[in-house]
A and B are shown apart, each in its own frame.
Chain A
Amino acid sequence: MKDPRITGRQKYVIDAAVEGMLHGRILRSVYPSARITSIDTSMVPEDVVVLTPQDVAGLHHYGCQIADQTVLPQDQVRFVGDPVLAVAAESVAAAEEALLMIDVEYEELPGVFDAVSATAPDAPLVHDRHKISENDAAYFGIRPVDGTNICHRFRLIQGDIEAGFAGADVIVEETFTTAGAAHVSMEPHAALASWDDGRLKMVTGNQTPFNLRGDLATIFGMKPEDIQVICPPMGGSFGAKTFVRIEGIAAALARKADRPVRIILDRAEEFQTLNRHPSTIRVKIGARSDGALLAKEVHCLADTGAYADCGPGVAQKMGFASPGPYRIPHVRVESNSVYTNLPPNGAYRGYGQMQSIWASERTMDLLAGKLGIDPLELRLKNLLREGDAYCTGEVMHDVAFEECLRDAAAAIGYEPGQPGLGVSVLMKGMQTPSFASIRVRAKPGGRYHIDCATVEMGQGSRKALATMAADLLGCAVGDIDIPAPDTDVSPPDTRTTSSRSTHMMGRALEVAVANLKDSDTGEGFGEIRENGGLDPDTGQGIASSHWHQGAAGARVSVDEETGAVTVEHVHAAVYAGRVVVRKQAELQNEGSMIMGYGTAMFESLDILDGAIGNPNLSDYNVPSIADLPKLTHSLIEREGGDVHGLGETALPPVPAAIGNALQSLGLTLRDLPMTPERVLAAVDEATDRTEDAA
């Protein structure tokens, strides 16, 4: 069977069309922070439908974690690109022409453009209020700090941090930063909305069909059952197509037009729609002279942009993964999700954990240097092992950090003291609590029909589920039909994020097939529910019912006159437990490593005059095939191991491994990306150190 994505037969969301459909375009703010003083649409032709803030004034606030957003801003715009109004016309060109005929006047307001300034005492506030969302994505106890731009503050406390540092022989303290990044999926955001007798049908590229349905129900004051969300396969997402993006505008436009409306964003708009959190992370770590870790304090600022989106969740995971897979008796973490006047930041492959792993794993090598202990040895000495308790109090099971780390080190030919080599290790949490359900029906001719809400975005989860189902049912993969998720039909699922689908939905499928075999109705239903969650004020509880575990190794060389880095080899080791579809698992690793490489070396959303300064693929670079170093990886399996999610695991350790390889050359990099200019500055710093010593 030829893959329709290869033959070109795959229908993506941008191909969705219905008769009588209008084309929507969005007028966006050109100011990062301003009050809208007037809107003049009088020049727009009569056959163009215009949706103004006034049209949506009666709709409700929404947001997957904090209800801080309206379909169109009511009085104030909060970032360059914030939608001001939208039009629908017979063609995209007519809609674009209409946008040029609209005159909006603004009164500029002060803005904040990074999380550090946004948390300063006199910083202008991006939002006045923080109303926690009723969406079930707001599951973890959100802690906004009133009167500040902090929309969530997560804390994790174990032991007595002061006592820990007091007992330490060596302490390292350092601040790290990471840049914002764009997902750059090939297919942009697209949605087709239509109304029929008070029911809303939304065909959209979205990883979170049930959360989206919930938020749309909130917006329009409808019952969720009166909204049908259908999610055809997407041409990539990487976290960008989560929760409400353009669906609210499409639905409101369609309702006003009384016609179906399709919106497809252009590339520039993609850069204004959802990006990755820039971060500033301060780490302080203390150890005994023999290398035993005693205390670690981490302070994270995650810039979530103008609307919280899932930024509170990102900050929480950034925080709880930051201690790293080590036994540390005294831990204190504070992780803040901070509003700024930049486009919203949200889910991005790695979900905040690339940022904290960068900071934490770089700190480990600085500590190793100060202790005079080999960085690999220091890690091995402190790694969490089977049955150890993490600083959240949860007991670790199916633990494979050591195997991953040793595999990564061996693959790059790691030798203590040999320059140009570096390693890193990570733990990454999965959505917890989490729920998945699935229905399997026997059809005539030995075929099976599966309904589930797992969305296909190129990650291959449908193929993985079909392969598992064929194995369980004793049929061919081709005998399994899995239509696209449809909230009218598919049983509920938390969402297709967090590398959870094969792990969660796969196990639900096992239950459903067993149920089918036991029943005489020809139908089986299965569900899996993982409980847990953390107390947001102490960080105690179960952070992750299932930890993603991995490591990376890198070999580099540096041109010390220009700072140009040649990454010769990167290896990622990912704990798979049990591989379901090998080829796809390998592609997940490769894709993650390539994104990790871009993050490490050059991907950066530059902020210029309060806006994304490089919102196009000429000025924002993603890795091309010609950039890639030798990339190798391992999928580590174990007899009787669980099926572990692996859609993201190989990304977060890559920048830290490269940074640590540079550290082995005496070059201390604190900021991502590690541009040649920053590397040259590190060369200068090392030269100054040598001269000072001499």
Chain B
Amino acid sequence: MSTAWHSPTTREEVLRLRAELGEDGTLVAGGTFLGVLMNNGILAPEAMISLAHVEGFERIARDGAELRIGAMVTHRRLEFDADIRALCPMIADTFAVVANPRVRNWATIGGVLADADYASDPPAAMIALDARVVLESASGRREVSVEDLIEDVYQTVIEEDEVLTEVIVPLDQSAARYRKFRTRSHEDRPCVSVAAVQASGGLRVAVGAVAGKPQIFHDICALAKGRAMDSGLAREIGTAYAERIDPITDARGSSAYRKRVIAVEVRRALEDLAA
């Protein structure tokens, strides 16, 4: 079986192809995730639409109090970009711990959010940062928070004719920390990850790799309202997160083990924030 390969160069062309091909047209960003699926025979697309040559998809720009990151910006660029490091170092810290440099050279921010793999690092970080994605189609444009974007493992609200074109990150955080807890190789995905952000709207804590999608509990985060972060509060929130989450079991750890690690790692992330 052969696969049709489309390599559009403009945004309009991408949206037109996406509208035409519908679910038969698989978007390819960095290919690090699709490649694994195809190698394992899980996915055999009829047509692929490469985003590699689309003008404007690789831009990083500050827009007032927000940062706009094009869908095709690679993990490696986010790891090293001077503006990112200056404006929101947690983004760089998160993308720097994904897999290895070979993967980071290709994997993109748009790709990793659209894939919605439960064990990827960036989704939890982006949710804690209250980031939004721009979804465009031939018939319109909408913005969706990353929190609402990801529904479950590999499931998002992206429609068949839509393309994730941009990620928008507010720059109102006073402190932010991403902790990746691994149980195997340094290159592995996390067993538990915690992103904790103190922003103007309050505390946001997202726990990744423990369920179908990153776990954020606004009512528990609200416990921090009007209180200074200290070890007691950190422990309280950590324990509440561990109680609320019903973690999955996979090769990186059992559900019971993850529950214990969540309490510890959430607490530590909050202690880091306070430090």
Contacts and interface: CB of A to CB of B under 8 A. Distances in A.
Interface of A: 97, 267-268, 561-562, 564, 601-602, 604, 606, 613-614, 616, 618-619, 621-624, 626-627, 675-677, 680
Contacts of B89: none
B185 A621 contact: yes
Contact of A624 (B186, B257, B264): B186
A677 B186 contact: no
B40 interface: yes
Interface in B225-274: 251, 253-254, 257, 260-261, 264-265
B187 A624 contact: yes
A676 B183 contact: yes
A602 B185 contact: yes
Contacts of A626: 100, 186-187
A627 B185 contact: yes
B1 A677 contact: no
Given A622-B185, A624-B185, A677-B183, A562 B251 contact: no
B36 to A, nearest CB: 6
B160 interface: no
B53 interface: no
B183 to A, nearest CB: 5
A602 B187 contact: no
Contacts of B85: none
Nearest to B186: A626
A627 B253 contact: no
28 contacts: A562-B181, A562-B261, A564-B181, A601-B184, A602-B183, A602-B185, A614-B251, A616-B36, A616-B39, A616-B40, A618-B36, A621-B184, A621-B185, A621-B188, A623-B185, A624-B186, A626-B100, A627-B185, A627-B186, A627-B187, A675-B183, A676-B183, A676-B191, A677-B183, A677-B253, A677-B254, A677-B257, A680-B257
Residue of B185, B191, B261 ringed by the most chain A CB atoms within 10 A: B185
Contacts of A562: 181, 260-261, 264-265
Contacts of A676: 183, 191, 253, 257
A186 to B, nearest CB: 14
A619 B251 contact: yes
Contacts of B186: 624, 626-627
A267 B184 CA distance: 20
Contacts of B260: 561-562, 680
B254 to A, nearest CB: 6
A604 B253 CA distance: 13
B201 to A, nearest CB: 30
A267 B35 CA distance: 14
Contacts of B36: 616, 618
Interface string B172-193: 0000000001011111100100
Contact of A561 (B40, B185, B264): B264
Interface of B: 1, 36, 39-40, 100, 181, 183-188, 191, 251, 253-254, 257, 260-261, 264-265
A618 B119 CA distance: 12
Nearest to A266: B39
A680 B260 CA distance: 10
A621 B186 CA distance: 9
B185 A97 contact: no
Contacts of B183: 564, 602, 675-677
Could you tell me the dominant secondary structure of chain B's interface residues?
loop
Given A97-B1, A626-B100, A626-B186, 7 more contacts: A562-B261, A562-B264, A602-B185, A613-B251, A618-B36, A627-B187, A677-B257
Contacts of A616: 36, 39-40
Residue of B183, B186, B257 ringed by the most chain A CB atoms within 10 A: B183
Contacts of B261: 562
Contacts of A680: 257, 260
Contacts of B187: 621, 624, 626-627
A624 B100 contact: yes
Top 9 closest A-B pairs, CB basis? Answer: A602-B184, A621-B185, A626-B186, A621-B184, A677-B257, A561-B264, A624-B187, A627-B186, A676-B183
Contacts of A618: 36
A43 B185 CA distance: 45
A268 B181 CA distance: 27
Contacts of A606: 251
A621 B182 CA distance: 12
A606 B184 CA distance: 14
A561 B271 CA distance: 15
Contacts of A561: 260, 264
B190 to A, nearest CB: 12
A500 B216 CA distance: 58
B209 to A, nearest CB: 14
Contacts of B188: 621
A558 B245 CA distance: 26
Nearest to A603: B184
A679 to B, nearest CB: 10
A206 B185 CA distance: 29
A33 B118 CA distance: 33
Contacts of B100: 624, 626
A627 B185 CA distance: 6
Contacts of B264: 561-562
Nearest to A616: B40
Contacts of B40: 268, 616
B242 to A, nearest CB: 12
Nearest to A614: B251
Contacts of B185: 602, 621-624, 627
B43 to A, nearest CB: 14
Contacts of B257: 676-677, 680
Nearest to B191: A676
A614 B189 CA distance: 14
Contacts of A621: 184-185, 187-188
A677 B260 CA distance: 10
A616 B36 CA distance: 9
B95 to A, nearest CB: 16
Contacts of A619: 251
Residue of B40, B184, B261 ringed by the most chain A CB atoms within 10 A: B184
B260 to A, nearest CB: 7
Nearest to B260: A680
Nearest to B265: A562
A614 B251 CA distance: 9
Nearest to A97: B1
A611 B39 CA distance: 19
Contacts of B181: 562, 564
A561 B265 CA distance: 9
A601 B188 CA distance: 13
Contacts of A613: 251
A268 B38 CA distance: 13
A180 B251 CA distance: 14
Contacts of B251: 604, 606, 613-614, 619
A488 B40 CA distance: 40
A96 B82 CA distance: 47
